[in-house]
Amino acid sequence: MTITPFSFTTVSEIHVQWEGSARLGELLAERFDARNLLLVTDRGLIEAGLIAPVQAALTQAGFGVTLFDDVVADPPEAVVRACAEMARSEKIDIVLGLGGGSSLDIAKLVAVMIGSDQDLSTMYGIGNVAGARVPLALVPTTAGTGSEVTNISIITTGETTKMGVVSRQLYADFVLLDASLTVGLPQVHTAATGIDAMVHAIEAYTSKHKKNPLSDALAREALRLLGANLITACQDGTNRAAREAMLLGATLAGQAFSNAPVAAVHALAYPLGGHYHLPHGLTNALMLGPVLRYNATAAAPLYGELADVMGVAGSGDAQARSEAFVRHIEALMDASGAPRRLRDVGVTDNSLSMLARDAMKQTRLLVNNPVEVTEDDALSLYREAF
Ligand SMILES: NC(=O)c1ccc[n+]([C@@H]2O[C@H](COP(=O)([O-])OP(=O)(O)OC[C@H]3O[C@@H](n4cnc5c(N)ncnc54)[C@H](O)[C@@H]3O)[C@@H](O)[C@H]2O)c1
Ligand SMILES: [Fe+2]
């Protein structure tokens, strides 16, 4: 078979090391000349005790460290602007994001805003960031969003809406995967963020326009790692091998979907996050089952391949394997302990048509789905998830 032309982009360097964050000072000092560092994180991580040792390691290695810890989940524009302002007034010349997707997304944007007078409002969309950024290092503490290796920052722009900045400048220079940082992540976050990562792998593998041999290879290996370790990581958060596999899997899935974008699960998840302020991973977990069943016939050959990748027992034609894949994913979600129905997380019956209307705005994502989703289809999918 011949290869359809494609491009693949990712970050420059990924360093994988259990407890590597204790060495972050020397790792960064070896690679960058800049020494006036902004550490972007949220208060939950400070309370979890994850930040102080890193700060000490950075200071030890000769960095001046300014701490910005005002990141909140699903960060609004005001947080980005406040962080950029602090960075400018402190004359920051290197940015380190340490935390979940929310902290990393802010760090990425601020690294480009420091030296630029471009207003944030003109950066949304694809390829709209002008200019260069200061050096950027990212250290994830959830195994979920893959933000450490994507060129995307997601910002809450209104009461109920989120917008994405997608630009090559948002690819970091250096990523550290230290799974020891994820050990204290509570079970429900482990489940939801882990399922988010699985959705990235599945949606990248079936992405209609940009899937390619590299994104496929990454998505397959990501799903193999995530599927085999999700339940162990949820049930025993201190299991090192499971935590390492989940973090690596989430990063590989991030590399995949940064090049082969996600689709209907994410399109239907975003309105739930917007209107009900539910965590991103959880909203994906809630919509995954219905969307997989909706796609199962059109995507049968690909879902069948993923069944093999995950070692799902049984045999049969592509349709049978596709159905077995969907059942396997649902069983994993049941065992993970993540909430499974919209009604269980406070979503009301009478909001479903509004959610369906909002989901239609996610055209950037819907075009990647293996099957077209109309507003009526979206409503049926929300009803099924209810
Ligand atoms: N840039 C991308 O490519 C991309 C992709 C998907 C989602 N996102 C965005 O990422 C955000 C969600 O990120 P997230 O799911 O990683 O969660 P998060 O960053 O919003 O963090 C959620 C909570 O978990 C806590 N936490 C994080 N790590 C912890 C740890 N190791 N131990 C204890 N507590 C910990 C945080 O303090 C916070 O309270 C959303 O804004 C979403 O839109 C970005
Ligand atoms: Fe996601």
Model confidence pLDDT, tens digit, residues 215-235: 999 999 999 999 999 999 999
Top mutation candidate among 51, 108, 147 for ligand 1, by most atoms within 8 Å of CB: 147
Tell me the pLDDT tens digit for each residue of 106-135: 999 999 999 898 999 999 999 999 999 999
> Max CA-CA distance within the chain?
63
Q: Quick one: average pLDDT of 81-93?
A: 98
Which residues are found with C-beta within 5 Å of the ion, ligand 2?
196
Q: Which residues contact 353 (CB under 8 A, 6 or more apart)?
A: 379
Tell me if the pTM is above 0.95. yes
Count the alpha carbons within 13 Å of 135 in the hemisphere toward its beta carbon: 18
pLDDT band of residue 162 (cuts 50, 70, 90) is: confident
pLDDT band of residue 1 (cuts 50, 70, 90) is: confident
Tell me the pLDDT tens digit for each residue of 127-151: 999 999 999 999 999 999 999 999 9
Position 330 pLDDT exceeds 90: yes
- Whole-number mean pLDDT of the chain? 97
Report pLDDT for 115: 85
pLDDT band of residue 6 (cuts 50, 70, 90) is: very high
Q: Quick one: average pLDDT of 27-51?
A: 98
Report pLDDT for 364: 87
Rg (CA), the chain: 20
Residue that the structure tokens 């982009």 belong to = 9
What are the DSSP calls for 335-381, one per residue? HHT----GGGGT--GGGHHHHHHHHTT-HHHHTTSSS---HHHHHHH
Report pLDDT for 195: 98
Position 37 pLDDT exceeds 90: yes
Tell me the pLDDT tens digit for each residue of 335-382: 999 999 999 999 999 999 999 999 999 998 999 999 999 999 999 999
Top mutation candidate among 142, 180, 247 for ligand 1, by most atoms within 8 Å of CB: 142
Q: Quick one: average pLDDT of 50-64?
A: 98
Percent of the chain at pLDDT above 70? 100
Position 159 pLDDT exceeds 90: no
**Cβ < 6 A, ligand 1 pocket:** 42, 44-45, 48, 73-74, 99-103, 105, 141-142, 144-147, 150, 152-154, 181-182, 184-185, 189, 193, 279-281
Residue of 274 and 354 predicted with greater confidence: 354
Report pLDDT for 374: 98
Q: Is 376 exposed, middle or buried (0-12, 13-18, 19+ CB in 10 A)?
A: exposed
Rounded CA-CA distance 73/5 in Å is: 38
Rounded CA-CA distance 338/193 in Å is: 10
pLDDT band of residue 301 (cuts 50, 70, 90) is: very high
